[in-house]
């Protein structure tokens, strides 16, 4: 995994428009997500539109984690400041992208109840 791109910024896209935080959340690499956040990655960085519909549906790191049902990452991101109420380009919040028969929607619903951020 790339830590920094050629410009030296952890928030610049490194693969298909994704940042290293997006990639780590997409694949559920909890230790990487922790470390990337510790070195200052932005939770607000959006990936650039991908070529595939799936990539266009999921633009925020928390959306990636929710879609992949990566529980540890889903718990970590709101605790680190990610908004569970933020919508993607199709108006979907992270809880709507997860399988409704898993723990992810309920974890995000609880996190959203304490979230004061306005949905985009």
Q: How far apart are CA 14 and CA 118, in angstroms?
A: 28
Taking only the tens place, the pLDDT of each residue in 20-65 is 898 999 999 999 999 999 999 988 776 655 544 454 455 789 999 9
Is residue 53 assigned to a domain? Answer: yes
Those residues whose C-beta lies under 8 Å from the C-beta of residue 92, and which sit 6 or more positions away, are 57, 63
Give me the mean pLDDT over the 11-20 stretch: 78
Q: Per the structure, how many domains does the chain have?
A: 1
Is residue 7 assigned to a domain? Answer: no
Which tokens sit at 114?
A: 């304490």
CATH code for the domain of 89: 1.25.40.20
* Partners of 18 in beta bridges: 15
Phi-psi region of 27 (alpha: psi -120 to 50; beta: other; left: phi over 0): alpha
Q: For residue 43, what are the domain limits?
A: 20-113
Q: Which residue has the tokens 């690499």?
A: 29
pLDDT for res 33: 96
pLDDT for res 80: 95
Is residue 51 assigned to a domain? Answer: yes
Which tokens sit at 69?
A: 């049902």
């Amino acid at each position: 995994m790339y830590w920094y791109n050629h410009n030296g910024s952890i928030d610049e896209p490194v693969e298909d428009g994704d940042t290293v935080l997006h990639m780590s959340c997409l694949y559920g690499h909890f230790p990487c997500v922790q470390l990337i956040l510790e070195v200052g990655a932005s939770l607000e960085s959006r990936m650039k539109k991908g070529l595939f519909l799936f990539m266009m549906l999921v633009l925020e790191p928390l959306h990636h984690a929710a879609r992949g049902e990566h529980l540890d990452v889903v718990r970590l991101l709101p605790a680190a400041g990610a908004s569970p109420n933020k919508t993607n380009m199709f108006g979907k919040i992270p809880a709507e992208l997860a399988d409704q028969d898993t723990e992810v929607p309920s974890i995000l619903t609880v996190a959203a109840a304490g979230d004061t951020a306005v949905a985009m």
